[in-house]
Amino acid sequence: MEKDSLGGSKYLLLIIDEASGCMKGFCLRVKSESEDYIRKYITMVQTQFCKKVKFVRHDGAREFATSSLQLFYEDEGIEQQTTVPYAHQTNGTAERAIRDYRHDRPQHASPCQVGQVLLG
């Protein structure tokens, strides 16, 4: 993200459910916040839809591969898949969503500013 949002966020965490195609974005002030959002999202999906999350795929960034998140995945029976570094086509769905988002939003606005305007 080029600049902070109105709320002070710098990063956008995008979670995509491959089964439904549903996308959920979270505005983060620091990357380390992603762990909490990932845990909450997985718990919400498993509770609300009575469906087990089978795997989590990510690009191998440190904030997605913390030891506490790995323990959480093990406890929940979730397989962790890591895409090949610098091979964006191996995580095509997420990369395409990010590319489309960057292309569609106003260039002067951060991702979280656009969300605040659209969502009120």
Which three-class secondary structure string do you get for the chain? CCCCCCCCCCEEEEEECCCCCCEEEEEECCHHHHHHHHHHHHHHHHHHCCCCCCEEEECCCHHHCCHHHHHHHHHHCCEEEECCCCCHHHHHHHHHHHHHHHHHCCCCCCHHHHHHHHHC
Residue 1 lies in a domain: no
Residue 55 lies in a domain: yes
- Confidence at 117, pLDDT banded by 50, 70, 90: very low
Residue 43 lies in a domain: yes
Residue 56 lies in a domain: yes
pLDDT in tens, 15-65: 988 888 888 988 899 999 999 999 999 999 999 999 999 999 888 888 988
Predicted model pTM: 0.75
Domain count, the chain: 1
CATH number of the CATH domain containing 26 = 3.30.420.10
